[in-house]
Structure 1
Amino acid sequence: MSGVTVTVCRSCPAGQDGLAAQLRAAVGDDADLREVECMSGCTRPSTVAFRAEGKTAYLFGDITKVDIPNLTIFLRLYSASPDGTFADARPLGSLREKAIARIPG
């Protein structure tokens, strides 16, 4: 396991529609995937967060199951980054436009 925690809001529409289970299947043991009742991203549901010790944390909104491939790319790049930042976000596709917050580590 990489030390990355991925948190999915189960109160959001995608969370209620099984996003966490599908994302868990996609990331396997590459992250600790958790679900919580609400992440207060209600103006941009559905929300997913990425965190790791000493790294910048990210919160994404407006997530659907279509974003799972980009979320797995993000996880791979995030895991490889020493501080959780990226020089080039283009590989993330539309996910880069779904960022709600970036919180310094």
Structure 2
Amino acid sequence: MHRIVVCSSCEGVDGPAFAEMLRVAIAEHGLTFEVQDHICMSNCARALSVAFSAAGKATYLFGDIDPDRDLADTLAFAKMYMDMPDGWIEDARPAGRLRHCLVGRVPA
């Protein structure tokens, strides 16, 4: 199962609302992700934090996500992530601004 985790306690942004927007958009686009919100992802200096993970795939952590403008780019990244067998994305240009928000990528 593919998973997106959204920080629910980042100060100054509504993480749970962004998680709900993602759930709706993921379903509308037919993507197979579980979207969770989680209290504190320890990336407080770069609120809002969002992570992607799946068994056998690289894990990604993003920060500085703007719920008002990054939904489409988050969906674009989700599609790329889902399509890569090992989750390792070399060219993230289709994810627009999100690629500049990457905090880290951890191999599977």
Length-normalised TM-score, structure 1:
0.91
* Gap runs ≥5 in structure 1: none
Report deviation, 1:77: 0.6
Alignment of 1:78-93 (within 5 A): 78-93=81-96
Equivalent-residue separation in structure 1 for 2:90 and 2:7 (angstroms):
28
Quick one: distance in 2 between partners of 1:68 and 1:34? Answer: 15
Residue 8 (structure 1) aligned to one of 6, 9, 21? 6
Runs of 4+, deviation exceeding 6 Å: none
Q: Alignment partner of 1:43: what SS?
A: helix
Unaligned 5+ segments in structure 2 are none
Query: 1:59 touches 1:101 (CA, 8 Å); kept in 2?
Result: yes
- Quick check: 2:51–2:60 contact (8 Å CA) kept in 1? yes
CA contact (8 A) 2:16 2:37 kept: no
Give RMSD over aligned pairs: 1.3
Q: How many residues align?
A: 103
Secondary structure of the corresponding residue to residue 45 of structure 2: coil
Matched, 1:33 2:35: yes
